Structure formats: structure tokens, C-alpha cells
């Protein structure tokens, strides 16, 4: 049986490099081409010695592949993807360019007019836990953002069951790799080390994505979401804490909430409901999302904590998971590695 030929656009970023790491040992895949504007003509091993197993030269474009992962920044990703779609290649886009259904949101949140608004409705939002049935037939899958993945998975069971009100607070803390590999002052070691920083309090670009997907889950209300992200001095990982008032007259028991979550995710290979609050290191290098739901009986609030690796379940690992579903491979193929510890 011939292997699936895949390409990676922008392998020189963190998500692109993580894709290569995960795909290197995938038994059903051959990486046929990788691009990176800053390293065209170089051997991949020269740019990333940890990927020396892959004998690849970085090129400027992808001539032929069955499927292409795009790890370009927003706007540039759509521009790179459109010609490949026209040539019949299937796409998993790790950028934000096809996640939102309303093209006006791209002008509002990403400061560009979408070049292919007609594709926004066609693109499948690639969160397998919610959209698995739509992914196999898709030619364009929009890989979710790292913050939205943790927040949506944390809240989905409670919202779908109608247990919480519309006022939701999401507090997320991310490792520095979430900012990407491009040099910037806030991510310099002396700025980020021994420091915690809140940012985008006026509205983060992942907010409309979170609201869009929570709205799709809601039975009879429009979510009002306050989302505050933070950068903490670690390389990778996201810990998200969600708060929402319970709508029930009598508070359910914590055990009932836990059972609801276990039932909702019982068939999901990469979601684990934990018996104690999870920690980011418990997900490092893995495609797992760990979730811990509980109740603050004093205030009548549901509190849900989720943890994931922003470069794996929050980006490259979820992209590989989507590819596996698209081609009918066992969903966990290439993603079986347990988390690194310590």
C-alpha cells in the first residue's frame, strides 16, 4: 500500500516543526515536501538538528502532494492554500484563516479582507470531539486555535446539557511558544522569565472563535464570554480555568458533573477527565487534553480546568488527528506517545 504524500508549509515555525516530528514516524505517511521562506535550499537537519532523521531540503513551494498542512501566519496561509486547493490537494490549515464562518470577523479581528469568503462555510472546524462526522469528506479542515481547543472542550458538556448560564469567564495561561518563533521583545528570556503577563484584555483574536463554537453548542442562550489570556515562563502548555453560574435550582453534586463529563467524552481517545486538577507538564509532548470539572458550592459556579500542550493538541497533534480521520486511518496513529515527565 502506497503511503499518503504530505507537505508542510512553513516548517520553520514551531507548529511546522512539531508536525514534522509527529509525522516522521507515522507509518502511513511520507513527507514529500516542506517549505520555509527563511531557509529555502537548506537541509531540514541544518535548521532543526532534532529532525535529522528526515532527509529533506526546504523548498519555496509544494508541487505535488495528497494533503498539505499549512502552518503559515494568518492571511498568508489563505494566500498559500488557495492555489493548492485548485490543484486538487486537501488541506489542514493550522492558521486562523478558515476557522470563522463570518468573513466580517476577519476584518474586525485580523485586519484583512478574506480572499475566499465562499470557502468559510465549506471549511470544517477541525475539533474532532465535536465535528468528527464532518471531517472525513472535507477537502479543507480549519484546525482550531490552541486557546479555543482547551476552552471549548472544557465547557462543551455543560453548555450542551444547558447546565450553565450565558455569562462565562475563561482564564488561560500559555507557554511562550504560543507566541510563535519570530523574535519579539516580550518573548526575550529576560522579559519572560520569572514573569506572568496578561495581554489582549480588549479582546484576543481567539475570542470570536470561542464564541462561535460555544454558540453552536448552546440550547437557548447567546454566550457572553470574558476571555483573558496570560503568558507564563514555560516553553509549552496551556492551563485554562473556566467559570460559569449553574442554572439549576438545586446544585448538582460534583459526582454528577464528573459523570456527565465522563459520559460526554467516553469514546474520545485524547480527552481524559481527571480526579484532581491537572497540570501542564502532564500533557507535554502529547495529544491529550486533561479536564477537571468541579463546583464551588458557595457561589453556585461550575469551575472547569483544562490542560493541553499548545503545540500538540493545540496545533500539530490535532492537525495529525484530523488527517487520520480524513483518510480513515486509526485516529491515534502517530499520536500514541505518552507525555514527557518531568
Looking up residue 12, the CATH number of its domain turns out to be: 3.40.50.720
CA distance 142 to 96: 7
DSSP-based three-state secondary structure for 307: strand
Asked if 300 and 151 sit in the same domain, the reply is: yes
For residues 299 and 199, membership in a common domain is answered with yes
Q: What's the CA gap between 150 and 159, in Å, rounded?
A: 15
Instruction: Inform me whether the pLDDT recorded for 149 exceeds 80.
Output: yes
Same domain, 259 and 306: yes
Question: Cell for 125?
Answer: 472546524
Per-residue pLDDT, averaged over 151-179, amounts to: 96
Name the DSSP class of 230. E
The string of pLDDT tens digits covering residues 42-69 is 999 999 999 999 999 999 999 999 999 9
User: Is 157 contained in some domain?
Assistant: yes
Is 199 found in the same domain as 64?
no
To the question of pTM greater than 0.75 for the whole model, the response is yes
- Residue 135's pLDDT band (cuts 50, 70, 90): very high
| pLDDT (average), residues 225-240 | 97
Q: Looking at the domain assignment, is residue 130 inside a domain?
A: no
Which segments of 26-167 does DSSP mark as H helices, in order? 44-47, 76-86, 104-110, 128-131, 146-160
Residue 302 predicted with pLDDT over 80: yes
117 and 203 in a single domain? The answer is no
Query: Does some domain include residue 17?
Result: yes
**Does residue 141 belong to any structural domain of this protein?**
no
pLDDT above 90: percentage of residues in the chain:
94
Q: Model confidence at 342, in pLDDT bands (50, 70, 90)?
A: confident
**Residue range 268-286: mean pLDDT, rounded:** 98
Same domain, 177 and 85: no
pLDDT tens for 95-134 read: 999 999 999 999 999 999 999 999 999 999 999 999 999 9
In a domain, 279, yes or no: yes
| CATH code, domain carrying 197 | 3.30.360.10
Residues 214 and 283 in one domain: yes
Mean pLDDT of all residues belonging to the chain: 96
157 shares its domain with 88: no
Give a yes or no: residue 336 inside a domain: no
Do 49 and 158 belong to one domain?
no
* 342 or 147, greater pLDDT: 147
Active-site position among 32, 146, 242, 289: 146
| In a shared domain, residues 165 and 94 | no
pLDDT-derived band at 182, boundaries 50, 70, 90:
confident
Q: For residues 69 and 95, give the distance between their C-alpha atoms in angstroms, rounded to a whole number.
A: 10
Position 236 in a domain: yes
pLDDT of residue 250: 77
**Which pairs count as long-range contacts for 58-62, CB under 8 Å and 24+ apart, including other chains?**
58/11, 58/12, 58/34, 59/33, 59/34, 59/35, 60/35, 61/35, 62/7, 62/9, 62/32, 62/33, 62/35, 62/89
Q: Given pLDDT bands bounded at 50, 70 and 90, which one contains residue 219?
A: confident
Q: Is residue 252 part of a domain?
A: yes
pLDDT of 256 above 90: yes
Query: Are the C-beta atoms of residues 280 and 237 closer than 8 Å to each other?
Result: yes
**Do 273 and 239 fall within a single domain?**
yes
Confidence band, pLDDT 50/70/90 cuts, at residue 248:
confident
Per the annotation, the verdict on 146 as an active-site residue is yes
Say whether pLDDT at 221 is over 90: no
In the beta sheet, which residues pair with residue 37?
Answer: none
Cell of 70: 499549512
Q: Quick one: 157 and 233 in the same domain?
A: yes
Mean pLDDT of 137-164: 97
CA angle, corner 34, sides to 336 and 5, nearest 5?
60
* Domain tally, the chain: 2
Give the domain range for residue 101.
4-122
Amino acid at each position: 500500500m502506497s503511503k499518503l504524500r504530505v507537505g508542510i508549509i512553513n516548517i520553520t515555525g514551531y507548529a511546522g516543526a512539531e508536525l514534522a516530528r509527529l509525522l516522521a514516524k507515522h507509518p502511513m505517511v511520507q513527507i514529500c515536501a516542506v517549505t520555509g521562506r527563511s531557509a529555502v535550499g537548506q537541509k531540514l537537519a541544518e535548521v532543526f538538528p532534532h529532525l535529522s532523521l528526515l532527509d529533506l531540503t526546504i523548498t519555496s513551494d509544494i508541487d505535488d502532494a495528497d494533503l498539505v498542512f499549512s502552518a503559515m501566519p494568518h492571511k498568508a496561509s489563505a494566500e498559500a492554500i488557495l492555489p493548492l486547493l485548485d490543484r486538487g490537494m486537501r488541506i489542514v490549515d493550522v492558521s486562523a484563516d478558515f476557522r470563522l464562518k463570518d468573513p466580517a470577523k476577519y476584518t474586525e479581528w485580523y485586519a484583512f479582507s478574506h480572499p475566499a469568503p465562499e470557502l468559510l462555510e465549506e471549511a470544517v472546524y477541525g475539533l474532532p470531539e465535536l465535528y468528527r462526522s464532518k471531517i472525513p469528506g472535507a477537502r479543507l479542515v480549519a484546525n482550531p486555535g490552541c486557546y479555543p481547543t482547551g476552552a471549548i472542550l472544557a465547557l462543551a458538556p455543560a453548555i450542551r446539557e444547558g447546565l450553565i448560564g450565558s455569562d462565562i469567564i475563561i482564564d488561560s495561561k500559555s507557554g511562550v511558544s504560543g507566541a510563535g518563533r519570530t523574535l519579539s521583545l516580550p518573548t526575550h528570556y529576560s522579559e519572560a522569565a520569572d514573569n506572568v503577563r496578561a495581554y489582549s484584555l480588549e479582546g484576543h483574536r481567539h475570542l470570536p472563535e470561542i464564541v462561535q463554537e460555544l454558540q453552536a453548542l448552546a440550547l437557548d442562550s447567546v454566550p457572553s464570554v470574558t476571555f483573558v489570556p496570560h503568558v507564563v515562563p514555560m516553553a509549552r502548555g496551556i492551563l485554562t480555568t473556566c467559570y460559569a453560574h449553574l442554572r439549576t435550582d438545586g446544585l448538582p453534586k460534583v459526582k454528577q458533573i464528573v459523570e456527565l463529563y465522563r459520559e460526554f467524552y467516553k469514546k474520545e481517545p485524547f480527552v481524559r477527565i481527571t480526579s484532581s486538577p491537572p497540570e501542564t507538564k502532564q500533557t507535554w509532548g502529547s495529544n491529550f487534553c486533561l479536564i477537571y470539572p468541579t463546583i464551588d458550592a458557595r457561589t453556585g459556579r461550575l469551575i472547569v480546568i483544562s490542560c493541553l500542550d499548545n503545540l500538540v493538541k493545540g496545533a500539530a497533534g490535532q492537525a495529525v488527528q484530523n488527517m487520520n480521520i480524513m483518510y480513515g486511518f486509526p485516529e491515534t496513529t502517530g499520536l500514541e506517545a505518552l507525555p514527557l515527565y518531568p
